[in-house]
Amino acid sequence: MDLDLTEGQSAFRAEARRWLAAHTPAAPLPSLETAEGFAAHRAWERTLAADRWSAVTWPEEYGGRGRRWSSGCCSRRSTTRRARPAG
């Protein structure tokens, strides 16, 4: 079993990382358990959705990128790494 990323997957991961580097808030998001945190998380999800990063495996006509499951893993791993909530 070959678990290495394909050239396309590597390019997609690089695109996701570039986008995240340019858009991820500098400070960790506040806890979802506060009104401020809830609003901040909603704003972050709107930012992700505006560029079709929130559901990359969804079809393009539904706001996704039409990518395969493995691409979703690449983007979610990068997203989780960059946008950890506080606490």
Domain residue spans in the chain? 29-87
Choose among 27, 16, 28, 25: nearest CA to 73: 16
pLDDT for the residue 52: 92
CB burial class (10 A; 0-12, 13-18, 19+) of residue 51? exposed
Average pLDDT for the chain: 83
Query: What is the pLDDT, as a whole number, of residue 14?
Result: 92
pLDDT of residue 2: 77
Render pLDDT for 11-46 as a digit per residue (tens, 0 to 9).
988 999 999 999 999 899 999 999 999 999 999 999
The predicted pLDDT at position 73 comes to: 57
